[in-house]
A and B are shown apart, each in its own frame.
Chain A
């Protein structure tokens, strides 16, 4: 284990029963890749990062995760591509990997 106090390992981070981080501040890029792997994404590409970072930044700026509509329009990754990157649901999965709470919106 090489984790420092600033970058806790995934096992040391508190998560809810669905696997979302309880405290977004505990997130780091290593745990992101680890959560992705847990959810069946073995190869984490720059496009994955682009989506996850957009989700996370939007949440940190506004206090809410973006809708799938704005994710498709504003993240730079179109809807079709989003579902290829995250087949089990782009918004939910990108939020989980980005260490932010589960999106609450219906869209």
Chain B
């Protein structure tokens, strides 16, 4: 009993250490898969933390020159949209939902993806692509936005992430 009490006291003494670095893995290529990661990376920099973004699989679309402007909200397979699946499949639905959301975001001063990545890059945040996916999709550095800091293997990613909180989206 006495020992238990000591345990509790000791736990209370542990100071909660502030987060110093975040590494955010972006694996999805939908608007709702990409934006939260960008907001979190930018938010980390705004709080003075280090921040890296690591794009893998379809998340790579966010940093691909030819795909970046075509990123859309998923209107199918996305219960959060509260849209019947059969309505979601109508051509143009995804485009419309993306347009509407874009307008709302602009009102809140949330930049489009390209400008947002530039902002994060200029803030000192790192922007990296996953080596395995880049090879799988047959891409080269030329396919990516100029803000790309490098193409990393998973080992290099972990090395860069030393001491960081890793967040997977």
Chain A residues at the B interface, C-beta cutoff of 8 Å: 67-70, 72, 78-80, 83, 87-92, 105-107
Q: Count B interface residues, CB 8 Å.
A: 16
B119 within 8 A of A: yes
Minimum C-beta distance from A46 to chain B (A): 21
Interface pair B122/A80, CB less than 8 Å apart? yes
* B39 surroundings in chain A (CB, below 8 A): 106-107
Interface pair B109/A83, CB less than 8 Å apart? no
When A72-B122, A80-B122 are in contact, do A107 and B48 touch as well, CB less than 8 Å? Answer: no
* B42 surroundings in chain A (CB, below 8 A): 68, 107
When A70-B109, A107-B39, A107-B110 are in contact, do A89 and B46 touch as well, CB less than 8 Å? Answer: yes
Residue of B nearest to A82 (CB): B123
Total number of A-B contacts with CB less than 8 angstroms? 44
Minimum C-beta distance from B37 to chain A (A): 13
Cα A78 to Cα B119 in complex, Å, equals: 10
Cα A70 to Cα B122 in complex, Å, equals: 14
Interface pair B119/A79, CB less than 8 Å apart? yes
Q: Give the contacting residue for B124; candidates A72, A83, A107; CB below 8 A.
A: A83
Can you pick out 7 interface pairs between chain A and chain B where the beta carbons lie within 8 Å of each other? A68-B46, A69-B109, A80-B124, A83-B124, A91-B46, A92-B46, A107-B111
B9 within 8 A of A: no
Cα A91 to Cα B110 in complex, Å, equals: 15
Interface pair A105/B122, CB less than 8 Å apart? no
